[in-house]
């Protein structure tokens, strides 16, 4: 929940002018709903894609306050974050609802970025792998081979989001390779091709080390994406 329309406009104009094409590098920005239409216009002829931070699992109708996939498509959105830990924590987002939303997104032609990750208490009590396993299998339940084509997973340890504490590259890599194994159990072919992003206090000075790990394919950046220069440095580190 950062940025008025005017602030988003300023940020994206700097981003678009500073961004240079890179092979195999997809940049996506996911501003709040109110800024999406303006953002869509700014990004229209750029290489930066537009994403939303949430969508409704329902197509349309009496769901006050919700925003549908169709509404997102009309303003140029092509990606959507699903199951961010803040949604899970404050908005009762269960694995079942994450699964419903991911399916709704895929059916509409949107690419979901599905977030998973453990809290500090879960890590300290040795539950990380079990939790990730159930979040992945819950989120991807009933997915066909085709459903995997435009899907990304983001591993975001809850204790590292917005706290300045980052998982060490080795710690993150361990979970990323575990996630890839879990995807392989559902669909072997998809596991190689599914981008697995790391999120949680990614900054210009730690991005290169994180992104050089074999199973870290990208980053989901929060705070540092609010400063165009920092976000551009992270893209360049990739
Ligand atoms: P952060 O946020 O980069 O500020 O830790 C990550 C996120 O909100 O997903």
b (16+ CB within 10 A) / e for 132-166? bbebbebbbeebeeebbeebbbbbbbbbbbeeeeb
pLDDT value of position 168 = 94
Distance CA 74, CA 56 (A): 15
Nearest residue to 57 (alpha-carbon basis) of 1, 96, 86: 96
Among the listed residues 84, 93, 118, 176, the single catalytic one is: 84
Per residue, the 3-state secondary structure of the chain, as one string, reads CCCCHHHHHHHHHHHHHHCCCCCCCCEEECCCHHHHHHHHHHHCCCCEEEEECCCCCCCCCCCCCCCCHHHHHHCCCCEEEECCHHHHHHCCCCHHHHHHHHHHHHHHCCEEEEEECCCHHHHHCCCHHHHHHHHHHHHCCCCCCHHHHHCEEEECCHHHCCCCCCCCHHHHHHHHHHHHHHHHHHCHHHHHHCCEEEECCCCHHHHHHHHCCCCCCEEECCHHHHCHHHHHHHHHHC
Domain count, the chain: 1
CATH code for the domain of 66: 3.20.20.70
Q: What's the domain range around 132?
A: 5-237
Q: What spacing in Å lies between the alpha carbon of 17 and ligand 1's midpoint?
A: 24
Each residue's pLDDT, cut to its tens digit, for the chain (238 residues) gives: 999 999 999 999 999 999 999 998 999 999 999 999 999 999 999 999 999 999 999 999 999 999 999 999 999 999 999 999 999 999 989 999 999 999 999 999 999 999 999 999 999 999 999 999 999 999 999 999 899 999 999 999 999 988 988 889 999 999 999 999 999 999 998 999 999 999 999 999 999 999 999 999 999 999 999 999 999 999 999 8
Angle at 8 between CA 209 and CA 231, to 5 degrees: 10
- Measured on CA atoms in the order 174, 215, 213, 117, is the torsion positive or negative? negative
Question: What pLDDT was estimated at residue 165?
Answer: 86
Neighbours of 124 (CB within 10 A): 11
Ligand 1 pocket at CB < 6 A = 156, 161-162, 199-202, 220-224
Q: How far is the CA of 60 from the centre of ligand 1 (A)?
A: 30
Q: What is the pLDDT of residue 164?
A: 87
Of 97, 86, 200, 107, whose CA–CA distance to 141 is shortest? 97
Nearest CA to ligand 1 atom 3: 222
pLDDT, residue 132, reads: 98
Indicate if 19 belongs to the active site.
no
Smallest CA separation from ligand 1 atom 9, residue: 222
């Amino acid at each position: 929940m950062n940025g008025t329309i005017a602030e988003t406009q300023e940020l994206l104009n700097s981003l678009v002018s500073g961004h240079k094409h890179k092979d195999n590098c997809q940049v996506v920005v996911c501003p709040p709903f109110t800024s999406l239409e303006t953002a869509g216009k700014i990004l229209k002829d750029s290489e930066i894609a537009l994403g939303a931070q949430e969508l409704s699992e329902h197509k349309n109708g009496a769901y006050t306050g919700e925003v549908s996939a169709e509404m997102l498509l009309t303003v140029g959105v092509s990606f959507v974050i699903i199951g961010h830990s803040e949604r899970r924590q404050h908005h009762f987002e269960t694995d079942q609802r994450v699964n419903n939303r991911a399916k709704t997104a895929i059916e509409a032609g949107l690419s979901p970025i599905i977030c998973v990750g453990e809290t500090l208490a879960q890590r300290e009590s040795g539950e990380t792998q079990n939790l990730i396993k159930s979040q992945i299998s819950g989120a991807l339940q009933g997915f066909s081979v085709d459903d995997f084509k435009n899907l990304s997973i983001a591993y975001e340890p809850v204790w590292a989001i917005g706290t300045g504490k980052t998982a060490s590259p080795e710690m993150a890599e361990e979970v990323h390779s575990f996630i890839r194994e879990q995807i392989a159990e559902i669909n072997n072919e998809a596991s190689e091709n599914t981008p697995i992003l790391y999120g949680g206090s990614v900054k210009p000075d730690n991005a290169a080390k994180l992104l050089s790990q074999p199973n870290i394919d990208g980053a989901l950046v929060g705070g540092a994406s609010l400063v165009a220069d920092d976000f551009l440095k992270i893209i360049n580190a990739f």
